[in-house]
Structures are given as C-alpha cells and as structure tokens.
Amino acid sequence: MMSALSKYVFYPAWDLKDGSQRLVEWRQLEKQQWWSQDNLGRLQLNRLRTLLSYAEEHSPYYRKIFKQLGFKAKDIQKLTDIERIPVTTKQDIRNGGDQFISDQLEKQALVSAKTGGSTGVSLNLYFDETCQEKRNAAQLMADRWSGWDLGMKRASVWGNPPVPGSVKQKLRHNLLDRTVYLDTMDLNDQSMSSFVERWRKEKPGAVFGHAHSIYIFAKYLLQKGITDLRPQGIVATSMMLLEHERASIEQAFGCKVTNRYGCEEVGLIACECEQHNGMHINLPHVYVEFLDANDRPVTQGEPGKVVVTDLNNFAMPLIRYRVEDVGVFGERVCECGRGFPLLERLEGRVADFLRLPAGGQVSGISLVERTLTKVPGIEQMQLIQEQINEVAINRVKGREYTEKTDKELEQAMREVFGEEVVLTINDVEEIPQEASGKYRFSICRVNQ
Ligand SMILES: [Zn+2]
C-alpha cells in the first residue's frame, strides 16, 4: 500500500512542488532506451551541438580553446567531429577552475560537488538543478533495470549515511527515500546484525552500495546462515565488481547483482540491464569515447581510456573529460532490445594498472581476480606498487589457508613481475577503505 502511494502520489507531488524535471525526464528516458541506434545517434548529435554552442559562447575555458583551434560548434556534422577538441583532464579542471563555469551563472547559485582524491586530484564541480534532476532521472531508470521500482524501500550499504536534519528532509526521507542504511565505515558483527533486524522490519525492495561492502555483508549472511533477506534487486556501484564477489552476493541474497558505472563528475555512465551481460551506456546524457595512449579511438573490443562528454551540464561544461578509467566498448546488441550500446567491461582505473619492470602494464584488478581463483586460502587481497620494483600484497587469510598459501601467492606474483621485484606479503584483517568508503584492490604509485 505504502509502495503504491509513494509511487503514484508522493513522487509526482514532490516533483510538482519543487518544479522538478526529474519525472518528466525519467518518462522520456523510459521511451528513449527502446529507440533505434539511428534515432539515438541523432538525439546525441543535437544535444552535443547545443552543448558545444553553449560552451563556445559561455564557458571561458572552452571559448579560448575553440578559438585557438578555429573550431566552430555550428560546423559539427557528426559525433566524431568532437575529436578535434583536445581531451580535458582532471589537471585541466584543477588549473582552469572557475574558467569552466558559464559566465551567465552565479557560482553560488549552483549545486556543487567535490570529488574524492583517490586518483590524486580532487576537484570542485558545479551543475545546475536541472542537470541534477536529469541525473536523478537516469538513476531512476537504471534502478528499475535492477528489479527495484518507484516506491519500494531501499537498503543502502554506504559510508557516511546521510542523517535527515530539517523537517523537510525528514518528511522527504519518510515518504520518498525510505531507506535503511548500513554504515560501511562501521562494519562489524553487531552493526550487521542490527541491520538484518531493520531489514526484516522494513523489507527493502533493493540494496544499493559499493560492491565490496555488499560483499562483506553477504559473507556475513552466508556465515550466519541467514537466508531470509530477499531483495528484488542489488545494485553495485563502485565500478569494480569482482566475479567471485558477485557470486557470493548472489548466493547470499538469491538475487542477481546489477553492476553500475558512474562518477560524481557526470553521473550515470552505464548500467547492466536484467540480462546482466554488459552495461548499457546512458546515451541521452553522456557521449562516451574509448581512447588509446595518444588520445585516438581504440579499435573495437580493445581496452581504452574512458572519455565522457556530459550532455546535461551547461553550468560547467565538461567536454571530452577523461575519467581515468579503462573500459572496453562492444558492438554486440543486447538481447533485451534496448538501443543503448554496451560497455562490455571495465578494466579498472588508470591508476589500478601496475607497471612491469620489464616494460608494459598489467591490470591489477584482473591480477587480483586471477590470483584469488588460483591460490587457495586467500579471502581478499590488495596490491600496492610503491616503486617499480616494490610490490606490497595485503592479504586476508581464507578458510583454506595453510603455510603453503603465501609461497603459492609469491610464486603467482613472480610469474607476472619477475625475480627482481621485492614482494612483501602483509597479513591483514581486512582491506582498508578509502575516505570515500570505496575499496581499491590495486594501487600503483609509480609515475604513469
Ligand atoms: Zn540489455
């Protein structure tokens, strides 16, 4: 009853009151996801032209760059014409600062967000209300792909849960957000046990959170033999969903995991549908490219650096913004019939790639994943490369741990890094979290 009320009464009423674009945009997205690739291509080209024209006129940073290049937004004929504009890096935003922001708008009136500094660069970003509402609409669309629906309660496994403060926030929390939180900054048997109790009372329809945090909770459920938490959807959002973690989560909840990829800077980039076979790119909102080391498009199926143009953000345009992640684009059409193309997989952040002393790089995430399957007795692990010839391995002992485990672990690492590398194995209780609540399994601190 409350679910239906929330879906049909409270959501629309709230959006009406706030003059929000969210539901209008959401209804559009619900249709657009089924459009043909041709129609979506035309939609993207129109939106890209509008964004570039606006940036040319109102963003001092891009105005200058376009001028230097002799680039005119109105001349853009096809999507790939955008390749004439250089890639925007985090460092560019750091240096350019307010130069990115539209000269038509007051910075104080905008919504601001600060990104975490885990890639070494923390950024201040700005967008207007409409942009935020559109991002929320995309979330709604993708949340529904997971099995969740409007009005259902949510369970959230996050760091630093927001505590409603004002009366308005409390009202909104009770009527709309209806969320049960597990604070991942404080994960222990007691906090997880009381979360299970709250879950049983509130019966959330879906659980959202960082993949590894959901995994820790799933492991707890499996250990305790708790089998009655049955959500209709599970959304993992931390970008790297390891296969064995996905399997444990699905076993614990009896429900498929929906992997999602997005970032603070541009919102939802891609998300799995109910097929769970690749992530559909949020085409109406982002134009995504996959580039090689020289910022040229990679061949289809090859890993490339993810570069995103946010088609919603006019307040602080981000054109060809390099997210510092590596992903693989696919030409395959998903069986669900949606027109949004597929991001086949993510290979990790650029900073997750470890350097090989003999030259070349290895995806740290893939290496961790492979080692966990190959070497019995390791529950979790994290690789940290401080120097080119120095790799620290933080590992959590698993049930099958024996004195042979570390030998085999070292052997597996030697096969990849060679004999000269100094390997240190640290026995840890758990993998430490970043300040954002995210986990990283592979960190390279050698200059890339
Ligand atoms: Zn699909």
Distance (Å) from CA 337 to ligand 1 centroid: 6
Distance (Å) from CA 374 to ligand 1 centroid: 31
pLDDT at 324: 85
Distance (Å) from CA 236 to ligand 1 centroid: 17
Distance (Å) from CA 330 to ligand 1 centroid: 12
- For residues 157 and 214, the answer to whether their CB atoms sit within 8 Å is yes
Distance (Å) from CA 234 to ligand 1 centroid: 16
Distance (Å) from CA 272 to ligand 1 centroid: 7
Crossing angle of helices 189-202 and 211-224, rounded to 10° = 90
Distance (Å) from CA 398 to ligand 1 centroid: 36
In angstroms and rounded to an integer, the radius of gyration of the C-alpha atoms of the chain is 23
Distance (Å) from CA 266 to ligand 1 centroid: 22
- For residues 338 and 39, the answer to whether their CB atoms sit within 8 Å is no
- d(CA 234, CA 316) in angstroms, rounded, equals 32
- Cα within 13 Å of Cα(414), Cβ side: 8
Distance (Å) from CA 334 to ligand 1 centroid: 5
Distance (Å) from CA 335 to ligand 1 centroid: 6
pLDDT at 352: 80
Distance (Å) from CA 363 to ligand 1 centroid: 26
Distance (Å) from CA 13 to ligand 1 centroid: 31
Distance (Å) from CA 138 to ligand 1 centroid: 15
- 404's CB contacts (< 8 A; 6+ apart) are 377
Distance (Å) from CA 213 to ligand 1 centroid: 26
Q: What is the DSSP letter of 427?
A: E
- 60's CB contacts (< 8 A; 6+ apart) are 99, 100, 103
Q: For residue 228, give the 3-state DSSP assignment.
A: coil
For 235, the token pair is 């959304």
Distance (Å) from CA 28 to ligand 1 centroid: 18
Distance (Å) from CA 424 to ligand 1 centroid: 43
Distance (Å) from CA 304 to ligand 1 centroid: 22
pLDDT at 353: 82
Distance (Å) from CA 300 to ligand 1 centroid: 19
Distance (Å) from CA 136 to ligand 1 centroid: 20
- Spell out which residues have Cβ within 5 A of ligand 1, the ion: 273, 275, 334, 336, 338
- d(CA 305, CA 296) in angstroms, rounded, equals 10
| Neighbouring-strand partners of residue 281 | 270
- Of residues 59, 133, 57, 129, the one with CA closest to residue 318: 59
Distance (Å) from CA 336 to ligand 1 centroid: 4
pLDDT at 153: 92
User: How large is the greatest C-alpha to C-alpha distance in the chain, in angstroms?
Assistant: 67
Distance (Å) from CA 259 to ligand 1 centroid: 12
- Of residues 327, 426, 415, the one with CA closest to residue 386: 426
Distance (Å) from CA 92 to ligand 1 centroid: 35
Structural domains of the chain in order of their starting residue, each with its CATH number: 1-347 (3.40.50.12780), 356-444 (3.30.300.30)
Q: For residue 117, give the 3-state DSSP assignment.
A: coil
Distance (Å) from CA 165 to ligand 1 centroid: 39
- d(CA 320, CA 60) in angstroms, rounded, equals 16
Distance (Å) from CA 338 to ligand 1 centroid: 6
Distance (Å) from CA 34 to ligand 1 centroid: 10
Distance (Å) from CA 347 to ligand 1 centroid: 20
Indicate the residue type of 270: A
pLDDT at 212: 82
Distance (Å) from CA 410 to ligand 1 centroid: 40
- 262's CB contacts (< 8 A; 6+ apart) are 237, 268, 269, 270, 271
Kindly give the parts of the chain with pLDDT less than 50: none
Distance (Å) from CA 331 to ligand 1 centroid: 13
- d(CA 338, CA 37) in angstroms, rounded, equals 9
Distance (Å) from CA 339 to ligand 1 centroid: 9
- d(CA 362, CA 367) in angstroms, rounded, equals 7
- For residues 219 and 188, the answer to whether their CB atoms sit within 8 Å is no
- For residues 380 and 412, the answer to whether their CB atoms sit within 8 Å is no
Distance (Å) from CA 275 to ligand 1 centroid: 6
- Cα within 13 Å of Cα(6), Cβ side: 18
Other beta carbons less than 10 A from residue 302's beta carbon: 11
Going through 172-320 in order, the beta strands assigned E by DSSP cover 179-183, 206-209, 233-236, 257-263, 267-272, 279-281, 286-291, 303-310
- For residues 372 and 382, the answer to whether their CB atoms sit within 8 Å is no
| Neighbouring-strand partners of residue 234 | 207, 257
Distance (Å) from CA 37 to ligand 1 centroid: 13
- d(CA 288, CA 269) in angstroms, rounded, equals 8
Distance (Å) from CA 265 to ligand 1 centroid: 25
Q: What is the DSSP letter of 314?
A: -
pTM of the complete model? 0.85
- d(CA 293, CA 19) in angstroms, rounded, equals 44
